[in-house]
A and B are shown apart, each in its own frame.
Chain A
């Protein structure tokens, strides 16, 4: 928020401080609302994009297999995901630089390069899964993926190369708002309200007790809700949008709002999975779930879920590809801004376009090793997440860097608790996927 007073029009000095493109408002309430609307974006996008294709699959599988029993896990993740991303907000606003640049500058080349290579690798593999989901959904809608996947890739490249951050942000925020359709779908499936309330507020063990399958699904839910690319994306996005110190509270609100939307949508996906299971369908993938739900409702539900699945993959793709392009540009020292035209930041846009095009192309190759790629995503993300958050925590305690914006003692208590839990969960997940015999079913 950069609200400047304006006095009488004759006042030369005050006229001089008036911005060229500022909006004059008369009430504080309007000022606050308008300021929030100008700041909103990075937090909402990072959170809603986190409900990508993989997340749709994980949440709907959790609902299909365990009904409403795991809703409390998702609800518990709301403050956790907010606390982590809120740290990124402070870091991004104070430094005006991305996360990769910060790690490189404050922890040296080894950590800088390791974080970058790991991020680029995990991001690329995740992008492949996004396009695989688009391919799957298009197939169920009767659209030839050989036509639809390249079209989606081309659209994703076009929305980023306009040379206007605002144009990209407006398009993506609009796509984020489409996620609200999940609420209508969940309501239309006549969910068991009593079970939803008890499943959200009172943790209970599903029938069958604590099995390895349940444990890994819980870990997958945590892993899909808090992903390493989010840290890099939001900080770079804030830097690109040039948010100011006075925007901190609005950026926090943006992040909190995004967390609420994404967690509620995640709950709705679980409710959809539960509805499918209640009608006797076994879960295989979210696209098949859409077809199953369509069989006992109507074609609207089927097509809406399939389109939302594509929307989730598109949002995930643009955010993840941008986090890769921003991070690479920051470390290489290239111009890296959506505000720049392609000719002024060619490297940045090439990285973005190559990420999108290569992932889309890989999906179209017959018999591509998709299962191996999904496995790679899970393990590498599991390995990377705790270390990424540890760096975030160290940076947020760097008083030399952040001054009054560094963590307070209570921040540290909360964050170290989150880090320890995430470290344990990611270690279990990585060990299980890399060495499955350690945890016999």
Chain B
């Protein structure tokens, strides 16, 4: 889980602040995504994604057919 550093890590008494460019700062600990593995999904989300996959495959085939048709591969131009 993500944790947040205190953005106001400053010393109010001295009233001096150091601003560091992100590329000059020490590397920050991020979420370890590789250890998390695939996302846990509910059945409805899983079904929705399968439907989305079917929709995308269908649309890609439709686009492919249309482009081939326009390019004259099926004998006439669309």
> Is there contact, CB below 8 Å, between A165 and B23?
yes
Cβ-Cβ contact count across A and B, 8 Å cutoff: 187
Segment at the B interface, from A148-156, A268-276, A358-366, A393-401: A393-401
Contact bitstring A356-399, B, C-beta under 8 A = 1, else 0: 00000000000001001001100110010001001000110011
Q: Does A95 contact B (CB under 8 A)?
A: yes
Interface status of A218 (Cβ within 8 A of chain B): no
Q: How would you classify the secondary structure of chain A's contact residues: helix, strand, loop or mixed?
A: helix
Q: How far is the CA of A165 from the CA of B21 in the complex (A)?
A: 12
Contact B39 A242 (CB under 8 A): no
Given A2-B5, A244-B28, residue A383 in contact with residue B19 (CB < 8 A)? no
Mask of B29-53 contacts with A, CB within 8 angstroms, 1/0: 0110110111110000100010011
- Which among A17-25, A54-62, A195-203 touches the partner chain? A17-25
Given the known A-B contacts A19-B20, A107-B38, A242-B25, are A401 and B63 also in contact in the complex, defined by CB atoms under 8 Å?
Answer: no
Could you tell me the distance in whole angstroms from the C-beta of A62 to the nearest C-beta in chain B?
Answer: 25
Q: Give, as a whole number of angstroms, the nearest-CB distance from B4 to chain A.
A: 5
B1 to chain A, nearest CB (A): 4
With a cutoff of 8 Å between Cβ atoms, the chain B residues found around residue A3 in the complex are 7-10, 17-20
A105 surroundings in chain B (CB, below 8 A): 33-34, 36-38
Residue in A34, A114, A395, A401 whose CB lies within 8 Å of B56: A114
- Contact indicator B1/A5 (Cβ below 8 Å): no
A22 touches B24 (CB 8 A): yes
CA distance A384 to B52 in the complex (A): 11
The stretch that binds B, out of A70-78, A245-253, A344-352, is: A245-253
Chain B residue at smallest Cβ distance from A14: B11
Q: Give Cα A20 to B34, complex, Å.
A: 32
Q: What residue of chain A has the Cβ atom nearest to residue B8's Cβ?
A: A3
A interface residue count range (under 10 / 10 to 19 / 20 to 34 / 35 or more): 35 or more
**B22: CB under 8 A from chain A?**
yes
Set of chain A residues within 8 Å of B37, measured between Cβ atoms? 105
Contact partners of B40 in chain A: CB under 8 A: 400
With A2-B20, A394-B45 known to touch, is A246 a contact of B56 (CB < 8 Å)? no
Closest to B60 in A: A383
Q: Which of B6, B18, B52 contacts A6 (CB 8 A)?
A: B18
In the complex with contacts A6-B14, A21-B20, A383-B59, A400-B36 CB distance below 8 A: yes
- Give the one of A8, A20, A107, A401 with max B CB within 10 A: A401
Q: Which residues of B contact A28 (CB under 8 A)?
A: 10, 17
Distance A265 CA – B60 CA, assembled complex (angstroms) = 34
In contact, A246 and B18 (Cβ under 8 angstroms): no
How far, in Å, is A191 (CB) from chain B's closest CB?
Answer: 39
Q: Are A403 and B7 in contact (CB under 8 A)?
A: no
Within 8 Å of chain B (Cβ to Cβ): is A47? no
Indicate which residue in B3, B7, B14 contacts A1 across the interface (CB closer than 8 Å). Answer: B7
| A390:B20 contact, CB within 8 angstroms | no
Q: How far is A28 from B22 in the complex, measured between Cα atoms in Å?
A: 18
> Of B19, B28, B33, B38, which one neighbours A34 at CB under 8 angstroms?
B19
Q: Select from chain A the residue with minimum beta-carbon distance to B52.
A: A387
Q: How many residues of B contact A (CB 8 A)?
A: 48
**In the complex, A241 has a CB within 8 A of chain B:** yes
A267 beta carbon closer than 8 Å to chain B: no
The verdict on A372 contacting B70 (CB below 8 Å), with A242-B27, A245-B5, A383-B60 known, is yes
| Contact among A19, A383, A398, A403 with B63 in the assembled complex (CB-CB below 8 Å) | A383
B60 contact set on A, CB distance < 8 A: 383
A26 interface residue, CB < 8 Å from B?
Answer: yes
| Cβ-defined contact, A6 with B16, below 8 A | yes
Checking B31, B45, B49, B62 against A401 with a beta-carbon cut-off of 8 angstroms, the contacting residue is B31
Query: Within 8 Å CB of B31, what residues of A?
Result: 94-96, 401-403
- Chain A 406-423 per-residue mask, 1 if CB under 8 angstroms from chain B, else 0: 000000000000000000
Select the residue from B14, B23, B67 with max chain A CB neighbours within 10 A.
B23
Task: Determine the chain B residues whose CB is within 8 A of the CB of A244 once the complex forms.
Answer: 5, 22, 25, 28
Is A2 a contact partner of B56 (Cβ separation < 8 A)? no
CB pair B25–A2 under 8 Å, yes or no, is yes
The residue that B19 contacts in the complex, of A31, A95, A394, with Cβ under 8 A, is: A31
Interface residues of A (CB under 8 A from B): 1-8, 18-28, 30-31, 34-35, 38-39, 94-97, 101-102, 105-108, 110-111, 114, 165-166, 241-247, 249, 339, 369, 372, 375-376, 379-380, 383, 387, 390, 394-395, 398-405, 430, 433-435
Given contacts A39-B22, A101-B33, A404-B1, 19 further A-B contacts (CB under 8 A): A2-B5, A6-B11, A7-B14, A8-B14, A21-B24, A24-B17, A35-B19, A97-B33, A102-B33, A114-B56, A241-B23, A242-B28, A372-B70, A375-B67, A383-B56, A383-B63, A399-B1, A400-B39, A403-B2
